[in-house]
Copies of this chain bind each other. A is one copy, B any other.
Amino acid sequence: MARNIVPRKEDYSQWYLDVIKTAELADYAPVRGCMVIRPNGYALWESIQGHFDEAFKETGHVNAYFPLLIPQSFLEKEAEHVEGFAPECAVVTHAGGEELEEPLIIRPTSETVIGHMYSKWVQSWRDLPILINQWCNVMRWEKRSRLFLRTSEFLWQEGHTAHATSEEAMEETLKMLGVYRDIMENVLGLPILAGEKSEGERFPGADNTYSCEAMMSDGKALQAGTSHFLGQNFARAFDITFQNREGELDYAWTTSWGSSTRLIGAIVMTHSDDDGLVLPPRVAPVKAVIIPISPDQSFVDEKLLPRAREAAERLDTLLSKRSVRVDTDFHLRPGDRFFANLQKGIPLRLELGEKEFGKGLFQAVRRDTGERLDISWDQVEERVPALLEEIQQDLFAKALAFREKNTVRVGDFGEFKEVFRGRGGFVEAFFAGGREEEKTIKEETGATARCFPMDKEERGTCFFTGRPGARLAVFARAY
């Protein structure tokens, strides 16, 4: 076991920070609550960005950039919005050596300033839909921060669309929820519950919020992305009007949807183990690391090095044909190397040793299971990508099995409380309560309604209010 990582069972929070530290993903910044995303962490973010950006473009969206600073008065135009975000705002009061006439807010999210611009750009139904996404930093002041999960500044993307009809806007809201779910499941390996948020968990200013919820390996939930149907609320606040096909003036229907660097936290807490980071191959910036080993594995045999380098190069060439990016590590003592590469989460270790050369094969070691497999040289191009694919599927299946094992259904509040007195996890329950009931449940158990999962359209008696015909909700303690 790694001596620089506290075991999960001993202290889950410390384990999480140790995994991030040993993988060199991030570090705390000198400004309270802010983080530095280190090169390994940023490469992971670039990989996540690449998958999302491609999917956004395939679904007809374009990127743009809106300003960091938002006039305070903008935030106040939508009543629920300002109530939700004002307490978290960072405020610029001075600039260019002078006090500003109106304080400026560092964007916590950009519905307001984007709404203002859309009102200038939209005149007729011909100008709709507008399908824009933005990659940027946002600021929500946090008293208690945790790397990737809760920091005052974080990186994210925010999509903002405007449509001529309510139906189109709702279709967009659900389409982007589907895009999120698809990439989160199939690339990041995170089993997702996608569904509508309860009243108390809705985005400030939205008519409906939908979210992707994932279970972390401590049984807590993490909201991995949200998609909001904003109705005409922001269009009214920012006067996004257009002449419809009938020649009448109407307010546009808008949506917004976002996902952030907290996805890195979700990956860490879903797949990693007591040896450190584990990355699903499709999102891993480096898929495999090639290391030479000596027969007794205690040191690198100097005589072996030239042959190992040559073999590594050959391997690299073969795998790059299959778009498999590999690194080589010839630097440290073998023990350190195994260790360092384990902790970085690289999905496969390819070991080149004298013994293996003789047999015309090499050993591949899976990061997720530790399993060793002999691969012959003539099978490299086929076996390595297949093995990576197998790891991808296995990690997802393992996470899904964990979630299923840690999900229970309850019928009344007594059973509900019992679960959260114990190990927690996801609790399914029919629920028809509102903000007040949600507040009580949270106070008594720490759990919140995560969503009404779309795949489970059952109805039943509310576990809390006893009302009939309640929708099935999933509750959990959440990050």
Contact = CB atoms under 8 A, between A and B. Distances in A.
Contact of A63 (B29, B43, B94): B43
Contacts of A41: 64
Nearest to A126: B331
A116 interface: yes
A384 B67 CA distance: 38
Interface string A30-52: 11001111110111011000000
A155 B94 contact: no
Interface stretch (A132-140, A348-356, A470-478): A132-140
Contacts of A91: 92-95
B96 A29 contact: no
Interface in A335-354: none
A141 B103 CA distance: 14
Interface stretch (A69-77, A449-457, A459-467): A69-77
Interface stretch (A82-90, A196-204, A307-315, A396-404): A82-90
Contact of A42 (B62, B104, B153): B62
Q: Count identical subunits in the complex.
A: 2
B93 A64 contact: no
A222 interface: no
Interface string A85-117: 011111111111100000110100000010011
A68 interface: yes
A117 B37 CA distance: 11
A439 interface: no
A20 to B, nearest CB: 14
25 contacts: A27-B117, A29-B117, A30-B113, A31-B67, A31-B71, A31-B104, A36-B64, A37-B64, A39-B62, A42-B63, A42-B64, A46-B63, A67-B153, A68-B106, A68-B137, A69-B90, A86-B97, A90-B96, A90-B104, A91-B93, A92-B92, A92-B106, A95-B152, A96-B142, A137-B137
Given A96-B143, A136-B137, 17 more contacts: A29-B66, A30-B71, A34-B67, A34-B69, A36-B66, A36-B117, A39-B63, A42-B63, A42-B64, A68-B137, A87-B96, A90-B92, A90-B94, A90-B95, A92-B92, A93-B93, A96-B142
